[in-house]
Structure 1
Amino acid sequence: MRLPISSYTSQPWRIHEFTGDFAVEDVWSFRTPGAGPGDFPAMLAAMREHGGLAEMPQPTQFLFDLRWKLGALFGWDKPAAGVGRRVSSLCDRLPDDLREAPRGLDNDNMPLKAVYELDTEAVRELANKTVHTLMHLGWVEGANGAYELRMAVLVKPNGRFGRLYMAAIAPFRHLIVYPALTRRWERAWLEHQRRSR
């Protein structure tokens, strides 16, 4: 479910301390029935195991495949346009305590790379010729004391082209990608619950 931006900005996340130059693009919630306050690491593990792009429906996979092909054709994703080259990594901005925190796991199937992972929040990043983007995952107590996963997408477009790119892909994100991601991640949690009984 899509949420107002205030549902992200009102939380006391550490990420607020060093991302004032990024704009909050989207905020979504994911139901995690039966989850408790300490289940954020379990949710992240469930997402890694059952929530990858290979598990997404064909329309979503098609959109990602198309995006990577366009990126290859126009050179959007060359290493020179990425983190550590065109833009500095968010890791370079972290305060000392977060630099010493676990970063989280990376794999070749996940284009966003880990920045840090705490008990209730985690951050990943990606940069190319269009944007520098951050995915913030947070663990929040929702209605009736139930805990749920929330995802915020923060972006810093690369000039006018980046702004046009973000506007062009917005309908696809909101109508296809995020709803599919919601279904997949919620199923990943249910599968984790089933296996841990």
Structure 2
Amino acid sequence: MRLHPTAHTSHPWRIHEIAPDFRLEDVWRIPTPGGPDDFPHLVHQMANGREAHRSSPVSRLLFAVRWKLGALLGWDDPDTGLGTRVPTLRDRLPADLLEAPRGPDLKGVPIPFVSVYQTDDEWVAEMANRTVHGVLHVGWVQDPKAPGGYRGQMAVLVRPNGLFGTVYMAGIKPFRYLGVYQQMLLALGRQWRATAAERSTAGR
């Protein structure tokens, strides 16, 4: 379920101080109910799972078309990414985040997201190509519908590459909403429920 932007902007996330020049694209509720110490499990699942982007024929088709166009038009060439076209957000981190565990890179999707930092309730990964510099922000928040409970929350922040990047982001928005994000989050929820016993055992 998509959430109001204030679900992200009203929380004192560290990303606010690190990426103030990025635009908040959208915020999503992740159906992963848990306790206060379950955030590392969510990070591990998102970083290592491969089911989400393959969760429906629509998602598979959209990803296939996107990567074919990217290959033809050079959108994802090495010289358009992190450390070449744009510097990594790691260069902006304060000392405490640089010294803390970095967190895992995102391996479960075809887009190469590189981890920026991870805290007790926040994980940030980034990517860049010819169209955009994007940030995936995953947080662990209290769930008002489950007293004492927590759940995941995902925000997408972007800094488009000029007019071309802005037009590109506007053009893919309907496909992201209808064919990608919803299916990905549903798949995350299914996997979360399927591994409930494993998390319970690990917490003992």
TM over 0.5: yes
Q: List runs of 5+ in structure 2 lacking aligned partners.
A: none
Cross-structure match for 2:166: 163
SS in structure 2 of the partner of residue 134 of structure 1: strand
Cross-structure match for 1:73: 72
Would the aligned equivalents of 1:53 and 1:61 in 2 still touch at CA under 8 Å? no
Would the aligned equivalents of 2:141 and 2:153 in 1 still touch at CA under 8 Å? yes
For 1:122 and 1:37, the matched residues in 2 are separated by 15
Would the aligned equivalents of 1:130 and 1:162 in 2 still touch at CA under 8 Å? yes
For 1:65 and 1:78, the matched residues in 2 are separated by 17
Q: List runs of 5+ in structure 1 lacking aligned partners.
A: none
Which residue type is aligned with residue 59 of structure 2? T
Cross-structure match for 2:102: 103
Count of residue pairs brought into register by the alignment? 196
Task: Report the more deviating stretch, 170-179 or 107-116.
Answer: 107-116
How far residue 27 of structure 1 moved from its aligned partner, in angstroms, is: 0.2
How far residue 56 of structure 1 moved from its aligned partner, in angstroms, is: 2.0
Would the aligned equivalents of 2:50 and 2:108 in 1 still touch at CA under 8 Å? no
How far residue 195 of structure 1 moved from its aligned partner, in angstroms, is: 3.3
The runs of 4+ residues in structure 1 deviating greater than 6 Å are none
How far residue 55 of structure 1 moved from its aligned partner, in angstroms, is: 4.2
Shift of the 184–109 alpha-carbon distance from structure 1 to 2, 3 Å rule, reads closer
Cross-structure match for 1:86: 85
Shift of the 37–171 alpha-carbon distance from structure 1 to 2, 3 Å rule, reads same
Cross-structure match for 1:13: 13
For 2:49 and 2:18, the matched residues in 1 are separated by 31
For 1:66 and 1:174, the matched residues in 2 are separated by 16
How far residue 141 of structure 1 moved from its aligned partner, in angstroms, is: 0.1
For 2:21 and 2:36, the matched residues in 1 are separated by 30
Identity across aligned pairs (percent)?
A: 48
Shift of the 53–134 alpha-carbon distance from structure 1 to 2, 3 Å rule, reads same
- Provide, for residues 126-168 of structure 1, a one-character-per-residue CA deviation record: whole Å limited to 9, x for no partner: 0001000000000000113221100000000000000000000
Match of 1:184 among 184, 187, 191: 187
For 1:194 and 1:31, the matched residues in 2 are separated by 17
For 1:27 and 1:78, the matched residues in 2 are separated by 28
Q: How does 1:1-197 map to 2 (within 5 A)?
A: 1-33=1-33, 35-53=34-52, 55-106=54-105, 109-110=108-109, 111-143=112-144, 144-145=146-147, 146-197=149-200
Would the aligned equivalents of 1:136 and 1:152 in 2 still touch at CA under 8 Å? yes
Task: Report the more deviating stretch, 58-67 or 118-127.
Answer: 58-67
Shift of the 63–85 alpha-carbon distance from structure 1 to 2, 3 Å rule, reads same
For 2:4 and 2:168, the matched residues in 1 are separated by 22
For the aligned residues, what is the CA RMSD?
A: 1.6
How far residue 49 of structure 1 moved from its aligned partner, in angstroms, is: 4.2
Would the aligned equivalents of 1:51 and 1:188 in 2 still touch at CA under 8 Å? no
